[in-house]
Amino acid sequence: MKRATRQRSAIRAAIAAAGRPLSPLEVLEGARSDVPALGLATVYRNLRLLLDDGEIQGVNLPGDNVRYELAGHDHHHHFQCLACQRVFDIHACPGDLQRLAPPGFVVEGHDLTLYGYCADCRASAVGGQGVRAVGVGACS
């Protein structure tokens, strides 16, 4: 059975407090304010457990490692900053994507990621250097 440990709560809390998908390392940093001695391996182990339990869900972005966020949120999408690489939640949706699918195909769900510059990065550094986002199109 799954126990209630300090580290597990800290990890859960860190993800809940973030409000955006966190990488395992970010989870570690966040959770260490509660449990300073927390180990990275423990973070990975717990992320796996929480994933299997459906408490959190993975967010997979091209050119970046998997991030995690609480499951059960409203349906939403993500915006990744090409400069600082941070990922933000977008609580909006293009809607009606069934029309994009070929005839005979049934759309059950979708995944949308926007790329660009967040308010912070757009304000300061203007150039998007060293960016290597995969699969970023240009018809937006």
The verdict on 12 binding DNA (CB under 7 A) reads no
Which one, of 21, 4, 8, 11, lies nearest residue 71 by Cα? 21
- 12, 20, 45, 86: residue in contact with DNA (rule CB under 7 A): 45
Q: H or E segment at 31? A: helix 24-31
Q: Locate 140 and state its tokens.
A: 């937006």
Q: Which of 114, 84, 110 is nearest to 98 (CA)?
A: 110
Q: Cβ closer to a second copy: 36 or 94?
A: 94
Q: Is 45 or 77 the residue whose CB approaches DNA more closely?
A: 45
Site for a second copy in 91-130 (CB under 8 A): 92-119, 122-123, 128
Residues near DNA (CB under 7 A): 1-8, 23-25, 35, 37-42, 44-46, 48-49, 65-66
